[in-house]
Amino acid sequence: MTAPSAIEVQDLVKTYAVRGRPPVRALDGVSFDAPSGAVLGLLGPNGAGKSTTLKILTTLTRPDAGSARVAGVALVARPAAVRRRNGYVAPRPVTDPRDTGRENLVLAGRLQGLGARAARARADELLERFDLGAAADRLVRTYSGGMARKLDVAVGLVHRPEVLFLDEPTTGLDPHARAEMWAEIERMTHEERMTVVLTTHYLEEADRLAAHLVIVDHGRVVAGGAPSDLKDALRGDTVVVEVADDGATARAGEVASRVTGLREVTTDGRTVRARTSASSAVVLPALLAALDAADVGVASATLARPSLDDVYLSITGRAFEAGAAAETEEVAA
């Protein structure tokens, strides 16, 4: 990476006290860099430390140990300077429902140090850009989910931050609103050279937007790199077989693990997944023949190039969706 790093994180440690139980180590030495002017995707299972990392980088909480620089400024020593350079959009709505969209933007701008006139002009500009002009003077309470989320991001951008933290910006949005948000995030990095740190429930989103991914698990960084590099590193394709009968999954898994050229066999519900190490063209027929010989009915069989889901599964040992459902708990905690 030739671009200078917008964020440098070094050995962050954060421990939370839990009454009556040993303390929980949410971060256990997290280190990564985020290149400037690009999207960094921060991924990981529920409780892996994503939210804690974001809370530290946005100065909402302080690390027990370790250091970080955001936009070149030392985080722990100069939190006020970091706050002026950061924008932060929490996973929950960040606007006041009892104010209008315009009032929210103007207040946010003024608190960030813009003068009255500059704040009004910036609010107009953002309302236009996020297609909220018609709703500008309505109370946010009356906005749809997609409109409210666009306003959240607009509020985060009001002071033209160097680094924008987007915590699940598209959760709960319909496909149309999500596509709009993606286009806007791409515009921020491509045209305005802003650095965006993104957490998401959608690997598709990370795959499309992020130039660089950091996967955290158990408070540590377990993998990092460009999405394409991570996929290439897996080597081999993914075989997914759906068995016809619930009870047969375990047996199908055993059969698959004995087939030459298959590795990393996992089962989930009626699905058996594995990765090929030999030529996929040979392995799939061999697997189907072996299942047939073991009297396991097969409903479907597919072969795919590695996806980000496969990367995630192989690194964390868990399918991505499994962690996503419980994510809201982590957010609330």
Partner 1 sequence: MRTATQHTALLTARALRSVSRVPVFMVMNLVQPMLWLLLFGALFRSVVEIPGFGSDSTYLEFITPGIVMMTAMFGAAWAGTTFVQDMERGVMDRFLASPTSRGALMVASMACQAVIALAQALVVLGVAWLCGARFDGGLGGVGLLLLGVVLLTAIFSALSNAFALLTGQQEALIGLSQMITLPLMFLSSAIMDPRLSPAWVAEVARYNPFDWAVRLGRAALDGSAPASEILGPAALLAAATVIMAWVATRAFRARQKSV
The DSSP letter of residue 45 is S
CA atoms within 13 A on the CB side of 95: 31
State whether residue 111 is helix, strand or coil: helix
By CB under 8 A, is residue 92 in contact with partner 1? yes
Interface positions, 102-161, toward partner 1 (CB under 8 A):
103, 107-108, 110-113, 139, 152, 155-156, 159
Round to whole Å and give the CA distance between 89 and 150.
10
Nearer to partner 1, 107 or 298 (CB): 107
CB of 60 to partner 1, least distance (A): 6
Q: Using CB under 8 A, which of 36, 59, 170, 199 touches partner 1?
A: 59
Q: 134 Cβ partners below 8 Å, 6+ apart?
A: none
DSSP 182-218: HHHHHHHHHHH--EEEEE-S-HHHHHHH-SEEEEEET
Q: How many residues bind partner 1, per CB under 8 A?
A: 35
Nearer to partner 1, 34 or 106 (CB): 106
Round to whole Å and give the CA distance between 332 and 311.
28
Amino acid at 86: N
Q: Using CB under 8 A, which of 2, 19, 22, 80 touches partner 1?
A: 80
By CB under 8 A, is residue 285 in contact with partner 1? no
Six-digit token string for 67: 């250091």
Round to whole Å and give the CA distance between 127 and 109.
13
Which among 89, 70, 82, 71 is positioned nearest to 130, based on CA atoms?
A: 89
Q: 333 Cβ partners below 8 Å, 6+ apart?
A: none
Q: Which stretch binds partner 1 (CB under 8 A): 99-107, 124-132, 172-180, 187-195?
A: 99-107
By CB under 8 A, is residue 317 in contact with partner 1? no
Q: 112 Cβ partners below 8 Å, 6+ apart?
A: 84, 158, 159
Nearer to partner 1, 95 or 200 (CB): 95
CB of 80 to partner 1, least distance (A): 6
CB of 146 to partner 1, least distance (A): 17
By CB under 8 A, is residue 96 in contact with partner 1? yes
Q: Using CB under 8 A, which of 61, 67, 271, 314 touches partner 1?
A: 61
Q: Using CB under 8 A, which of 55, 69, 102, 178 touches partner 1?
A: 55
CB of 167 to partner 1, least distance (A): 8
Q: Which stretch binds partner 1 (CB under 8 A): 79-87, 123-131, 279-287, 294-302?
A: 79-87
CB of 16 to partner 1, least distance (A): 8
Q: How far is CA 214 from CA 27, 36, 49, 172, 312, in A?
A: 14, 15, 12, 23, 11
Q: Which stretch binds partner 1 (CB under 8 A): 59-67, 198-206, 217-225, 296-304?
A: 59-67
By CB under 8 A, is residue 58 in contact with partner 1? yes
Residue window 13-52: x/- pattern of binding to partner 1, with contact defined by CB under 8 A: ---x------------------------------------
Burial of 299 (0-12, 13-18, 19+ CB in 10 A): exposed
Interface with partner 1 (CB under 8 A) = 16, 55, 58-62, 80, 83-84, 86, 88-99, 103, 107-108, 110-113, 139, 152, 155-156, 159
